[in-house]
Amino acid sequence: MRFFIAAISVAAFFFSGNAAFADKRVAFVVGNGAYRNVPQLPNPVVDAQAMAKVLRSVGFDVVEGTNLTRDKMTDKLLEFGRRAEGADIAVFYYAGHGIAVNGTNYLLPVDADLKSEMDVKLGAAINVDLTLDQTLADAKVKLVFLDACRDNPFAAKIRSARATRSIAVDSGLADMKSGEGTLIAFATGPGQTALDGESGTNSPFTRALVAHITQPGVEIQQAMTEVRAEVNEETNKNQLPWDHTNLVGSVYLNPAAAPADKAGPTSAEPSVATAPASEIEIEFWRSVKDSNKPEELNAYLTSYPAGQFKSLALARIAALQDGPSTTTRNLTTGIDPATFSADADQISEDQLGLSRNQRRDVQRRLTGLGFDTRANGKFDDETRAVIKRWQAARGYPQTGYLNDWQHKALVSEIVSTQMASADEGDEEAVHHSHHGGGGRHYYRSGPGGLFGHMMGGLFGRR
């Protein structure tokens, strides 16, 4: 009963916490991949769709577009600039080709045909500095994510063009500095190139962003630390995202479970949760701390992923699961009904933000439940097939991917045998080679405006 009352109290708190999303949140999300004059990029559209979905889930009004020509991209930017006026948080996300010329960054519409520096500067490309200055100037908090650090095929054309003065065309995007209240993040470091990923999936950078930036109670700079670590690990240390931050307060895209000891918001902290959650958390913990049901302890961890009693809850769960038991598995008690109807896909699984160790934990649990798979921390085809078998046995939608409900259900299952105790050796690290055409990996060209030169041809026709 105490657990039930505490759960009701927490649910009421989170419902009232939805007021934290009442601030004005606007996002620009564009993915360009179907280039007409150079080889196409397979994943920016998928990346943009995933980012738009996750931002909408935390209350953003999203101006979205894919495979935009220069005119269409201009229209979207004008619309975004209007909507972003007076915004508490404005997000600018772009996936596709970009280029740095003489230290200035440009984003490339799908109809770009760059043969010289003049083409870049007189309207064929979008100047990043001017764009951000004109569209985001009035927003209190500005978050910029540029997944555009690919090896740009236009660069060689521009370098070889006859010019009256020297021109520097970088391999990736150039360094940028953020103004007050701004975070600018790139898929990799200045002048470097980043992987586009397996065809039809998210790039490593966008996959990590989707998994971490809207985690409940995770501050955006902490989330970016996790993004860097995940991309660095996934790419075998070949790609390290880079950012420049000039935020003057803590920013939460999903403040539902923000730390209880945070001070009230300042004008630069529109998304910090301010409700006094500490007493509720303590009461919740008291109601479950002596429980013999892992699902009740996991309910605490779900509500307070960075809670004061997290380590105690994890230790208690480990003791319950690893200790001797002849209890058979209870597969339905306490399971959210949505588990049996909600489909899971790559996006829902990415949003779980599972680390390699957590993926190993999933694999060990499946093996302990009789669905044998290797605990290598990678959800390969073998693991996907095993997840499907587990889903079929439980009556869940059979997709081979996990969502939040299914992951909670798996974690809460009481296993009558020990989970596999030893990891198998990691398979040989995936080699992320740089291909220049139809290979499995592609690159986008690197970071760097808009309304300021409207009369000068930035938005004019070529």
- What's the pLDDT tens digit per position in 318-367? 666 654 333 222 333 346 667 777 889 998 898 888 988 889 889 988 88
Q: Decide: pTM greater than 0.85.
A: no
Q: In which band, very low, low, confident or very high, does the pLDDT at 213 lie, cut at 50, 70 and 90?
A: very high
Q: Which of 25-39, 277-291, 359-373, 394-408 has the lowest mean pLDDT?
A: 277-291
**Residue 231 in this model has a pLDDT that exceeds 50:** yes
Rounded CA separation 344/245 (Å)? 34
Q: 38 pLDDT band (50/70/90 cuts)?
A: confident
Q: What are phi and psi of 424, to 5 degrees?
A: -75, 155
Position 152 scores a pLDDT of 60
| Gap between the Cα atoms of 96 and 235, Å rounded | 19
d(CA 147, CA 104): 16
Most confident listed range (8-12, 72-76, 157-161, 366-370): 72-76
Decide the pairing of beta strands 25-31 and 242-245: unpaired
Residue 337 per-residue DSSP state? G
Q: Choose among 356, 358, 374: nearest CA to 423.
A: 374
- pLDDT tops 80 at residue 165: no
**In which band, very low, low, confident or very high, does the pLDDT at 279 lie, cut at 50, 70 and 90?**
low
Q: State the distance between the two ends of the chain, measured CA to CA, in whole angstroms.
A: 70
Q: Give the model's confidence band at 224: pLDDT under 50 very low, under 70 low, under 90 confident, else very high.
A: very high
Per the prediction, the chain carries an average pLDDT of: 74
Question: Which pLDDT score, from 0 to 100, does residue 256 have?
Answer: 63
Say if residue 183's pLDDT is above 80: yes
Round to whole Å and give the CA distance between 335 and 337.
6
Q: 181 by DSSP, 3-state: which?
A: coil
Task: Give the model's pLDDT for residue 272.
Answer: 36
Q: Which long-range contacts does 378-384 make (Cβ < 8 Å, 24+ apart)? A: 378/426, 378/427, 379/349
Amino acid identity, residue 208? A
What percent of the chain is predicted at pLDDT more than 70?
A: 67
d(CA 451, CA 85): 14
pLDDT of the residue at 226 = 92
CA dihedral defined by 94, 99, 104, 107, rounded to 10 degrees?
-30
pLDDT band at residue 157 using 50, 70 and 90 as cut-offs? low
CB 93, CB 440: distance < 8 Å: no
The residue whose two tokens read 């894919």 is 66
Tell me, what's the pLDDT at 178? 56
What per-residue confidence (pLDDT) applies to 311?
67
User: Is 355 or 306 the better-scoring residue by pLDDT?
Assistant: 355
Alpha-carbon dihedral of residues 96, 102, 103, 106, nearest 10 degrees? -30
Which of 346, 90, 98, 407 has the alpha carbon at shortest distance from 207?
A: 346
Containing 70, the helix (H) or strand (E) segment is helix 70-83
Q: Residue 23 has what pLDDT?
A: 87
Bigger pLDDT: 182 vs 269: 182
Q: What pLDDT was estimated at residue 444?
A: 54
Nearest CA to 390 out of 381, 402, 379, 378 is that of 402
